[in-house]
Chains A and B, each alone.
Chain A
Amino acid sequence: MSAPRFRDIAYQNFWTNNPIFLQILGICSTLAVTNNLYNTTIMSIGVIFTTALTNTTVSLLKALIPRKVRMIVQTIIIAFYVIIIDLLLKAFLPEVSKALGPYVGLIITNCIIMGRAEAFAQSNPIRHSFWDGFTSGAGYMAVLLGIATVRELLGFGTLYGFRILPESFVPWTIMVMAPSAFFLLGIFIWIAKSVMNRKEKKA
C-alpha cells in the first residue's frame, strides 16, 4: 500500500474527517477551557504537539511494540509528552498552568491522540504520521477556536482580553457557563454536516 499524499491527509483532517465534526472525539479535555480564547489556544497547541509527536514515536516504534501491549505503550508515550507540556507550562506560563488546572493532564485521555496513533501511525511511515498528527490537531484547534471566539465575545465582550464590544453591551452570562459549549458545538456540527450533505447531493 502506498502512503497517502500529504495534501490529502491535511484536507481529510481539516474537513472531511475532522476529528470533532465526524468522530466527536476528544472534546472532553478541551471543551472546558473554551470560555477564554487565550487558554484555548495554549491547550490546542499542547494537543497538536502531543498528537504530532506521539504519532511520530508510535510510527517509529511500530515494529518493536508487541501488538498485545500496544495500548499501554501508546498511553505511556502520550503521558510522556503531556508531562513535557505540563512542565513547560509550569516553568514559563505559571498563571496559565494554574488556570488550566487538571485539564493539561487530561490531554492524556484525549481520544484523538490514541485514535490517530491506532488508526494512522500504526501502519504509515514516519513523516506521514507526523503530518497526520499535526493536521488532525490543527483541525481540532480550528473548531475549538471557533467556539471560544463566540463564547468569549458574547460572554465577556472581549477577544484575547481586548474589549471588542462597547461597554454598554450586556454580557451573556450563559456563554461563560458549561451549557453554552454544548450548544455551540452542536450548532457547529449542524452547520458542518449540512454543508457536507449539500455537497454530497451535488456530486
Chain B
Amino acid sequence: MNAPDIALPVLFFASIFTSNILLANFLGMCSFITISSNLRSAHGLGLAVIVVMSITSIINWLLYTFVISVYNLEFLGFIIFIIVIAAVVQMLEMVIERISPPLYMALGIFLPLITVNCAILGVVLFIQIRNYSWDQALIFGIGSGIGWWLAIVALAAIRQKIDKAPVPSGLKGAGITLITIGLMAMAFLGFSGMLSVQ
C-alpha cells in the first residue's frame, strides 16, 4: 500500500484542529481531566506530550517499516510500540535532567505520566493504520502534540473561571469538566468544513 496523498501543511493543520487527537478521537483523556485543573501543570504536560509524541512517532515509524513489517512481526506490534514509548520517556527524562535541571523541574514529574497517555500510543497506531510516509508521520506526530497541548491549556484556562461559578453540587468536578470539553469539541468541529483527514 502507498502512503495517502495528503499535502504536509494540510495534514499539520488537520491534526491540530479538525481531527484533534483529544476532542475528535477521545485520546489522552485520563491525564487531561486530572491535570487540567491547574494552568501551569497543564502547560508543562502539554509541552512534554509534544516532545514525546514527535520522537516516538518517527521512531516507531522507522521500526514498523524496517523491522516489524520486514520480518512479519505485526502481531508483536503493540508490545514493541509500548516498550519504545516507555524507553523514549525514560531516556528523555535522563537527558533533560542532565542538560537542563530547570526544565527537568518543570517537566520531570509529568514524564512518567506520559507512558500511559493513550494519545501517544494512539498517534503511533494511527500512523501505522493510515500508512503515512515518514514525513507525514513526523508532521502528524508534531501536529497532534500541538493539538493536545492547545486543548489542555484552553481547558485549564476555562476551568479556572468555572471554579468561581455556582455549579450544582452533583455536577461539580468531573461532570462540568466533561460538559465543557463537549462544548470545546463542538467549537473545534467548526473547523471540519475546511478540510478533513481520515
Hey, which bits of chain A sit against chain B, CB under 8 A?
Answer: 24-29, 31-32, 71-72, 75-76, 79-80, 82-83, 86-87, 101-102, 105-106, 108-111, 114, 174, 177-183, 185-187, 189-191, 193-194, 197
Contact = CB atoms under 8 A, between A and B. Distances in A.
B181 to A, nearest CB: 5
17 contacts: A27-B26, A31-B29, A79-B79, A80-B79, A83-B76, A86-B78, A102-B126, A106-B121, A108-B78, A109-B120, A174-B186, A178-B25, A181-B26, A186-B178, A187-B179, A189-B174, A190-B175
B100 interface: no
A25 B83 CA distance: 22
Contacts of B186: 174, 179
A28 B30 contact: yes
A72 B116 contact: no
Contacts of B76: 83
A183 B116 contact: no
B168 interface: yes
A67 B77 CA distance: 26
B121 A108 contact: yes
Main SS of the interface on chain A?
Answer: helix
B125 interface: yes
B171 interface: yes
Given A28-B30, A75-B82, A189-B174, A106 B122 contact: yes
Contacts of B185: 178-179, 182
Contact of B182 (A83, A183, A197): A183
Main SS of the interface on chain B?
Answer: helix
Interface of B: 23-30, 33-34, 75-79, 81-83, 86, 115-122, 125-126, 128-129, 168-172, 174-179, 181-183, 185-186, 189
Given A79-B82, A109-B121, A178-B185, 16 more contacts: A27-B26, A72-B86, A75-B82, A86-B75, A105-B81, A105-B125, A106-B27, A106-B121, A108-B78, A111-B116, A183-B178, A190-B168, A190-B171, A193-B169, A193-B171, A197-B170
A182 B181 contact: yes
Contact of A193 (B27, B115, B120, B175): B175
A186 B75 contact: no
Question: Which has the most chain A C-beta neighbours within 10 Å: B30, B79, B116?
Answer: B30
Given A86-B78, A178-B26, A191-B170, A109 B182 contact: no
Contacts of B78: 79, 82-83, 86, 105, 108
A75 B86 contact: yes
Contacts of A79: 78-79, 82
B170 A28 contact: no
Nearest to A112: B30
Contacts of A71: 115
A77 B181 CA distance: 32
